[in-house]
Structure 1
Amino acid sequence: MEGLEVLLRNPAGREQTRGLAVVVITLTVLYWSYAYLLPSLRLSKIPKAGKDPGFLASLFGIGLAEAKRDFKKNGLRILNEAYLKNKGSMFRVQTLNEERVVLSPSYIEEINKNVPEGVLNVTDGLSERLMGPFTNLDVVFNSDMHIEVCRSPLTQNLPKLIAPLREEAEYWLERRIPGDDAESELNVHELIVRVISGTATRMLSGPEASRDPEWLETAALYSYDVVVVAQTLRHFHPLLRPFIAPFLDSKKKLDKHLGVAKKTFRGLFIQRMEQQDRGWDFAAGEKPADMVQWMVEAAKGSDRDLDVLAMNMLFMTLAGVHTSANTTMHALFDLCAHPQFAQPLRDEIQEVTDQDGWTMAAMSRLKKLDSFIKESQRLNQTVLMTFNRKLAKSVEFADGTVLPRGTCITMPSVAVSRDPTYFENPDEFDGFRFYDKRSATASKSEANRQSFAAIGPDNLAFGFGKTACPGRFFAGTQIKVVLASIILRYDVSFPKGQTKRPENIYKGGLIQPDPRQKIVFKRRVE
């Protein structure tokens, strides 16, 4: 302080101080211009959809709140209109999180061919949207282990999982739906979330955890609490978030969920690691086909920490429980709204399982059921946009457009799913649309392209390319097992007087089936 006082009393010192202040201010302006203003200016030639907060939003946030409110209320309309207006090109939209550049499917081939996988960063954008540092998800995102175990061992072991999934689905359906011949009117959200949580947990670790009520409650609520934390913290300046997060009730719930995950899986992880150290000496024969096993085999370095492994198990519920539950609920709503599909589906399921049992071969032969689920998903997706990536490097497209490093890109999967270019009568539900397409072609590759888990320009629900959702094959199998079990055993319908499915609930970029809807289940008597 004394040195500063001397400088200020000295005329030369005052000049030096003013000069230093000018340098600091200049550098600050240059930094803000480089970090915030220049990227906005580079993207300014790309059309903007929805309310445009203007370039000052990049610096001061002026107009940003209004643009976000507009997207939260009108996101579906904004994206559909902008997609049709800018077909074959791209546009910008301010979402609840950040501005994204929405690419047409026409860019898919170019991206697959010319853009390295490492440039399309999945985790940075996901961490920002889900507030990774405060939801503990950065522990998962710091590694690719969760991606690799879904891409390889999970998919490769699907044949071993069919029977356990069927057993688990039957277990929860028996306990949640009364066993007499009377009709049972049940909240379908509560039923399906429990069935999907149970079957997902059976894949994670086996029957012990899948029957544990404390863990199943965590599996059902964890995704919701992550979203609440992220949405709450988004309203505060980044510098304030570390001080606010610990006091949020939803953050305390996340910490409780992590504690449950540690208690549920810690012993299993320790047991498998000890078996690994002994060279996998499984007394009962072959090693288990579950996520605990695959993670222990894949984990290296810090990923072997028990807390990290527990967080990965929680992330699996975030990635899979509610997305699969929502898809299953949508399919049930469509079955109630279009009951003419019930008997053909039931006949196919009965015939195939009589011949092949509950096996992977049987699942691959359920082509009508696969088509029904895919058509339901086409019209009722879980999000408005997929393929959400943050560019690790600048990308220049063949049309001359340059997207700078740090740009968040996405694709309008819902708008594409109703594009008449790809689908005849796109707003009409046709449960066997994809079954008919399969039957009409002699090409095996074209037939496979009609399957639920297939990806392409006309089906962006799972993303595309090398970074497409690695768990989609398990999800498709799980949903088939659950729906097949229900269709064989029950007649389903809406409550008396209702014939149309409920309207979906749109919240920004999220799409949700109405959680209040009830369905009538009546046990079939053959």
Structure 2
Amino acid sequence: MLSLDYSKLLILAVVIAIVLFWPPKNKSFHRRGIDPGFLNLKVWPARIWFLLRGRNIVEQAYLQEKDAPYLLQSLNEDSLVLPPKYLPELRMLPGGKLSASEALVTSVLGQHSGVDVVLKDRQHYDIARVQLMRSLPTLVPILSAKVDSILSETLAACSTADFTHVKIKEIVSALVLRTTLLTFVGPELCENTELQWLVEEFTNIVRDMAIFLLFIPKFLRPVLWPVLPPTARMKRLHERVRRILFPKTEKNVKSSRDFPTVIDHFVATSEIVDEKEIVAKFLVLMAGALHTTKMSTSHAIIDLCASPECVDELRNEALAENLNDLPWHLDQVSCLKKLDSFLKESQRFNPPNYLSFDRIATSTFTLQDGTAIPKGTFISMAAGPMAMDPGYYEDAQTFSATRFCKTDESAVESGAEKSQWAHEFVSTESGNIHWGHGRFTCPGRWYASAVMKVVIAQILRKYEVKFPEGQRERLPNVYLDLIVEPNPKQVVRFRARE
């Protein structure tokens, strides 16, 4: 018995030694945060440390050695954070070497929640990049009228005499959800409260599924995910959405449409109309459109309150383009250059994510300086610190609403891409990768920008917006993982203009 006990102790000692002293993976790169260790046995301490200190780790790494790549264990993946010096080279790589879609699926463990439908083909990408963009001249006036209707409804108690207190999250959610659904499914279904709930619930189930799977070893996930509670919820959700979008009754649902919806584009561009597949793609595309637009719109309205000195200039620009309170048209929205600059500056201070340019290396390749990127590597860049780098932006810590309207070379870093469109919210430069960069820019950014500009322009024209009495600065942002969200407690006062 004694010899058996000593044998067990010896085996345990060997295992502990291996775990503690096994050389880290990817030794060619420095590690920030906690190493997940041999067989990922220390992955949970690394994940917890990332949740607690992730933003600080990224900031410190950028300040201390911004030109060096490093490994970082995020909540899910072990990521390789590349420095900005590689951006010009990465932006020109073909799609066969880097994949944004695979990175999206990996980041939310989407192979188990249906998000991996985006890997099947480029249909969703092409619809956002081509058909949706071509529809903007027709869509913008329709969306403008919808924004007016929603504002009148949600701010019905708002008068010219007194301010009405509104939670920013509630009013922006209503505006973005209903206008996006109008684009995706048309005027009849966009007001379907069941569908509204379902598209928002989809994101919750994807999140819950990812959390469940984090506690399950990778080799067991294919076996266990079918019996997880979120899996059954997701199946029921897909079926309910399918019944709404593709009813069996012979009803002419296109009778009052003045434009083809995103669902129409999915049907028209499908070789074989697979209702289940279209529903899956619809939900993923909706989730992406909703999150970014909600966050950016909320941040922008809060920044209007935090920068009252900007309001008159922005409002005068809106009135100059649309004095008679008619529905906005795309050419008018495109002329709102100061609003473009304001939105871009708001995004610079409040990025959608502290890490961005998420990609999976779909094949092994070597960068020009000899840095090898193995196949399967999850790469990111420190978008948050880059946007606040004085090497890219003069007086980077100061909020300057007209920063991108300026024509002097000091307004934006001297090496940035400059053009007549540099002021536009959708444009990118070396310090701004929130929309992606080069070949990897977001295909739906023109649509998101148009919606946001219509919303903000109408609020400027019709309402005064202020913080609650006594508040001078915006409440601190909330950092979930590395996502940057406006404080959910933030209240804004609205008063109708005469």
* Structure 1 partner of 2:274: 305
Q: Deviations over 1:359-383 (max 9, x none)?
A: 1111111011111111111110121
Separation of aligned partners in 2, 1:268 and 1:477: 34
Q: Which residue of 1 aligns with 2:481?
A: 508
Does residue 175 of structure 1 match 2:148? no
What is the aligned partner in structure 1 of residue 358 from structure 2?
A: 388
Aligned to 1:323: 292
Amino acid at match of 1:412: A
Query: Please, which of 50, 58, 65 is the counterpart of residue 71 of structure 1?
Result: 50
Report the equivalent of 1:518: 491
1:132 corresponding residue in structure 2: 110
Question: How far did residue 52 of structure 1 move?
Answer: 2.7
* 2:134 counterpart (156, 179, 189): 156
Instruction: Supply the distance in 1 between the matched residues of 2:276 and 2:164 (Cα, whole angstroms).
Output: 42
Q: Partner amino acid for 2:105?
A: S
For residue 244 of structure 2, what is the amino acid of its counterpart?
Answer: T
Correspondence for 2:35 among 32, 47, 52: 52
How big is the shift at 1:461? 0.2
Q: CA offset at residue 505 of structure 1?
A: 0.8
Match in the other structure for 2:330: 360
In structure 2, the CA distance between the partners of 1:165 and 1:287, relative to structure 1 (3 Å rule), is closer
Structure 1, residues 481-516: CA drift from partner, whole Å, max 9, x if none?
Answer: 111111211111112221110111112221111122
Letter in 2 for 1:77: N
Aligned equivalent of 1:278: none
Task: List aligned pairs for 1:72-87, cutoff 5 A.
Answer: 72-87=51-66
Question: Shift in Å at residue 270 of structure 1?
Answer: 9.0
For residues 455 and 316 of structure 1, the distance between their equivalents in structure 2, rounded to whole angstroms, comes to 22
Contact 2:158 2:164 survives alignment (8 Å): no
- The residue type paired with residue 476 of structure 1 is S
Structure 2 SS opposite 1:452: coil
Percent of aligned pairs sharing the same letter: 27
1:50, 1:239 → 2: CA distance?
Answer: 25
1:117 aligned counterpart, secondary structure? coil
Deviations 1:173-203 (A, max 9, x none): 1111124413211111111111100110111
Q: Which structure has the larger Rg over C-alpha atoms? A: 1
Residue pair 2:154, 2:171 contacting (<8 A) in 1 also = yes
Query: Which runs of structure 2 are paired with 1:266-285 in the superposition (5 Å)?
Result: 266-267=246-247
Relative distance call for 1:437 and 1:228 in structure 2 (3 A) is farther
2:178: which partner in 1?
198
Distance 1:252 1:184, change over 3 A: farther
Counterpart in 1 of 2:301? 332
In structure 2, the partner of 1:498 is 471
Where 1:289 maps in the other structure, the secondary structure is: coil
The 5 A counterparts of 1:381-460 are 381-437=351-407, 446-460=419-433
**What residue is the counterpart of 1:343 in the other structure?**
312
Say which SS state the counterpart of residue 472 (structure 2) adopts: coil
| CA separation of 1:477 and 1:268: change in aligned 2, threshold 3 A | farther
Superposed CA RMSD in Å reads: 2.7
**Of Structure 1 and Structure 2, which has the larger fraction of its residues in helix?**
1
Gaps of 5+ in 1: 1-36, 276-281
Change beyond 3 A, Cα 1:420–1:269:
farther
TM-score, normalised with respect to structure 2 = 0.88
Aligned length: 470
1:255, 1:515 → 2: CA distance? 30
The structure-2 alpha-carbon separation of the partners of 1:260 and 1:190, relative to structure 1 and needing over 3 Å to count, comes to farther
Aligned with residue 454 of structure 2, among 471, 476, 481: 481
Deviation at 1:87, TM superposition (A): 2.3
**Contact 1:73/1:507 (<8 A) preserved:** no
Cα displacement string for residues 55-76 of structure 1 (whole angstroms, at most 9, x for unaligned residues): x2xxx21222111111111111
In the TM superposition, what is the alpha-carbon distance from 1:219 to its structure 2 partner? 2.7
Quick check: 2:293–2:452 contact (8 Å CA) kept in 1? yes
Give yes or no for contact 2:157–2:164 (8 Å, CA) kept in 1. no
Alpha-carbon distance between aligned partners in 2 of 1:270 and 1:433, rounded to the nearest angstrom: 54
Q: Give the letter aligned to residue 437 of structure 2.
A: F
Residue pair 1:437, 1:447 contacting (<8 A) in 2 also? no
Mark the CA change 1:254 to 1:188 in structure 2 (over 3 Å): closer, same or farther: farther
Q: In the aligned structure 2, how far is the partner of 1:48 from the partner of 1:493?
A: 44
**How big is the shift at 1:264?**
2.4
Structure 2 CA distance for aligned equivalents of residues 253 and 433 of structure 1: 47
CA gap of 1:445–1:268, structure 2 versus 1, over 3 A, is farther
> How far 1:319 sits from its partner (Å)?
0.6
What TM-score, normalized by structure 1, do the two folds share?
0.83
Which 5+ residue runs of structure 2 have no aligned equivalent? Answer: 1-21
Amino acid aligned to 1:96:
L
